[in-house]
Structure 1
Amino acid sequence: MKTDTILITGATGTVGSELVRALANRGATVRAGVHSVIKGDRLKHLNPEVQLVELAFERPETLVPAFTGVDRVFLITPFSPEQVAVARQLIDAAKAAGVKQVVKLSALGAEAEPGIQLGRWHREAEQYLAQSGLSYAIVRPSSFMQNFITYHADGIRQQGAIYLPLGQGRLSYIDAQDIAAAAAAILLDDPIRHHGRAYPLTGSEALSTDEVARIIGQAAGRDVRYVDLPEDAARQGMQGAPQWLVDAMMELNAIGKAGYAATVAPDLERLTGRPARTFAEFAQDHRTAFAAA
């Protein structure tokens, strides 16, 4: 029996690569949209049956071949000021190709008004998708546990410290594996069951950064401390980054510090049938990333 072909845009990213793995492991026909087929070759190591297709947002001519023959799409857009335009472009391509379901990766709290800039970008793209006439669903995850590898592993390895302006704010961090598991559950189900739904996805606990540092230290067998940065110092630490990025990250940190990212939602367990992975499980799995340099 023919299975639906599922296109994942941004397939080499944190969530995209985990979703490629999750879907391929369940026997789905996966098409991985990558900026460069050569750079995306590592996805073939996850499963040799994965189809690689060039999908470059700045080259619209790549969209028609990428979407041709696709039944469902998991929509990941780049974190940039152009992400709404990119989302519109991809949604239009999905509609033109006759795709029967689009599942969009958004962010926890994107529906809040007026919200922060990152949320407003996601909300605008969500609204465009809702008005497209396509069957759709939205997943809104909290902050990724993997961010502590992507952005903080060097500081942890070299200095035994995590530098963030989060005060004692608690965040319900989620493992990208769980986001992928929830997305896979939607994409492999009847689209009618999920049409128009938005799912907040979080971990099962809200942790302070002091607690995160302690958990990472226990997993890595070393002392790790949290340094609560003043806002000015945090901005200085991002010197050289585009101003839009600095402002967006400071807004995101501010809502975390204020306690607005501590929500623990039941949707992940309802979709997957299992509880969210704990931060301790994540830290143990990735303990070598935090080992002393």
Structure 2
Amino acid sequence: MAKSILVIGATGNVGMPLTKMLSENGYDVKAAVRSSTNVEDLRALGVETIQADLRNFFSLMNAMNLVEKVFFAVPFVSNFIPLSMNVIKAAEEAGVEHLVKISGSGAQYEAIQLARWHRSIEREMMKTGLHYTFLRPNSFMQNFVNFNSGTIGDHSSFYLPLGEGRVSYIDARDIASVAYHVLTEKGHDGQAYELTGPEAISCAQVASTLTNVLGKEITYCGITEEESRQMLIEEGLHESIVDARLELYQLNRLGYSAAITNTVTDITGKSPYTFEQFARDYKERFSR
């Protein structure tokens, strides 16, 4: 029986477009979902959905039955590492051949907590003897929708402690495109790919682009680290996640997230999305 590709995190920013690409190009793709997940979009693609809980090793093993390759994106939560370890152990036990992990930009340097978490998971993957590939993207453009569209819609502003720091934000659709090629082509085993967008931009430039696209003045309000901490706590984030986010913001603010790579183009043959293209495609999400 032919083996398939399993996408863990199939309803996410990267997982959904990846699953769509695999399905539309004729690959046997399965989506691991929680029982509470809205799966209508996946089923509309004709994708088989399998209930699996990242906290439940045996449910993951069951989802990986007759699976050759696994892509996984684990949510950034306080038990991020144990959840990831469950995926790796289940892949070993189930006889998966190739694991593809969404990691983080600069994970190899372990300069901040988030990088250290990602690198510890990468090391565990390297110990297994399985084929593996690490995708190390910079911050997602979609984060402006996920975290800032509320205040942009309500009062035309967004709040971050990034000062004038420039970041080479990447569209999650480009990450999905890279993942598609990694999963369907040879030559990616043992590789770690640093993924960025085509330009490094500041939050002031983000605001200017959104102003032009949305047709109304959008303002970037720079805030202090302590103000940001309070906002994140009020969102209900675990203290460890708050600290990790603030460390990442500090790197952004200091300009350490501005490097640009050509990896997206090298692997996919296409230029990555600019922030303006992203903003136009997601215009309705900012206008809600």
> Structure 2 length as normaliser, TM-score?
0.95
| Aligned residue in 2 for 1:13 | 12
Kindly indicate whether residue 232 of structure 2 is the aligned counterpart of residue 238 of structure 1. yes
Ranges of 4+ aligned residues in structure 1 off by more than 6 Å = none
What amino acid is the match of 1:205? Answer: E
Deviation by residue 1:149-197 (Cα, 9 ceiling, x = unmatched)? 111001111111111000000011111110000000010012xx11111
| Aligned residue in 2 for 1:200 | 194
Does the aligned pair in 1 maintain the 2:57–2:90 contact within 8 Å? no
What amino acid is the match of 1:217? Answer: T
Kindly indicate whether residue 27 of structure 2 is the aligned counterpart of residue 33 of structure 1. no
Deviation by residue 1:236-272 (Cα, 9 ceiling, x = unmatched)? 2223332112111111110100111111111111110
Kindly indicate whether residue 255 of structure 2 is the aligned counterpart of residue 259 of structure 1. yes
Kindly, what percent of the aligned residue pairs are identical?
37
The CA distance in 2 between the partners of 1:123 and 1:91, in whole Å, is 14
The CA distance in 2 between the partners of 1:257 and 1:182, in whole Å, is 27
The CA distance in 1 between the partners of 2:25 and 2:3, in whole Å, is 12
What amino acid is the match of 1:206? Answer: A
What amino acid is the match of 2:225? Answer: E
The CA distance in 1 between the partners of 2:13 and 2:68, in whole Å, is 23
The CA distance in 1 between the partners of 2:50 and 2:158, in whole Å, is 38
| Aligned residue in 2 for 1:75 | 72
What amino acid is the match of 1:106? Answer: S
Kindly indicate whether residue 50 of structure 2 is the aligned counterpart of residue 84 of structure 1. no
Does the aligned pair in 1 maintain the 2:3–2:66 contact within 8 Å? no
The CA distance in 2 between the partners of 1:167 and 1:67, in whole Å, is 44
The CA distance in 2 between the partners of 1:274 and 1:5, in whole Å, is 26
Q: Alpha carbons of 1:173 and 1:38: their partners in 2 closer, same or farther (altered >3 Å)?
A: closer
Kindly indicate whether residue 110 of structure 2 is the aligned counterpart of residue 110 of structure 1. no
| Aligned residue in 2 for 1:228 | 222
TM superposition shift of 1:20: 0.9
> Structure 1 length as normaliser, TM-score?
0.94
TM superposition shift of 1:81: 2.7
What amino acid is the match of 1:201? Answer: L
Does the aligned pair in 2 maintain the 1:167–1:228 contact within 8 Å? yes
The number of equivalent residue pairs is 286
- Secondary structure at 1:7 match in 2: strand
What amino acid is the match of 1:213? Answer: A
The CA distance in 1 between the partners of 2:275 and 2:92, in whole Å, is 39
Q: Alpha carbons of 1:137 and 1:201: their partners in 2 closer, same or farther (altered >3 Å)?
A: same
TM superposition shift of 1:142: 0.7
Deviation by residue 1:87-113 (Cα, 9 ceiling, x = unmatched)? 222111111111111111101111113
Does the aligned pair in 2 maintain the 1:160–1:225 contact within 8 Å? yes
| Aligned residue in 2 for 1:147 | 143
Q: Alpha carbons of 1:239 and 1:89: their partners in 2 closer, same or farther (altered >3 Å)?
A: closer
What amino acid is the match of 1:27? Answer: G
The CA distance in 2 between the partners of 1:277 and 1:159, in whole Å, is 27
TM superposition shift of 1:38: 5.5
Does the aligned pair in 1 maintain the 2:31–2:49 contact within 8 Å? yes
Does the aligned pair in 2 maintain the 1:7–1:32 contact within 8 Å? yes
Q: Which range moves more in the overlay, 231-240 or 36-45?
A: 36-45
The CA distance in 2 between the partners of 1:138 and 1:185, in whole Å, is 13
Q: Which runs of 5+ in 1 are unaligned?
A: none
What amino acid is the match of 2:67? Answer: V
Kindly indicate whether residue 253 of structure 2 is the aligned counterpart of residue 270 of structure 1. no
TM superposition shift of 1:32: 0.3
Q: Which runs of 5+ in 2 are unaligned?
A: none
What amino acid is the match of 2:240? Answer: W
Does the aligned pair in 1 maintain the 2:13–2:173 contact within 8 Å? no
Kindly indicate whether residue 122 of structure 2 is the aligned counterpart of residue 126 of structure 1. yes
Q: Alpha carbons of 1:195 and 1:38: their partners in 2 closer, same or farther (altered >3 Å)?
A: closer
TM superposition shift of 1:59: 2.4
TM superposition shift of 1:290: 2.1
- Secondary structure at 2:14 match in 1: helix
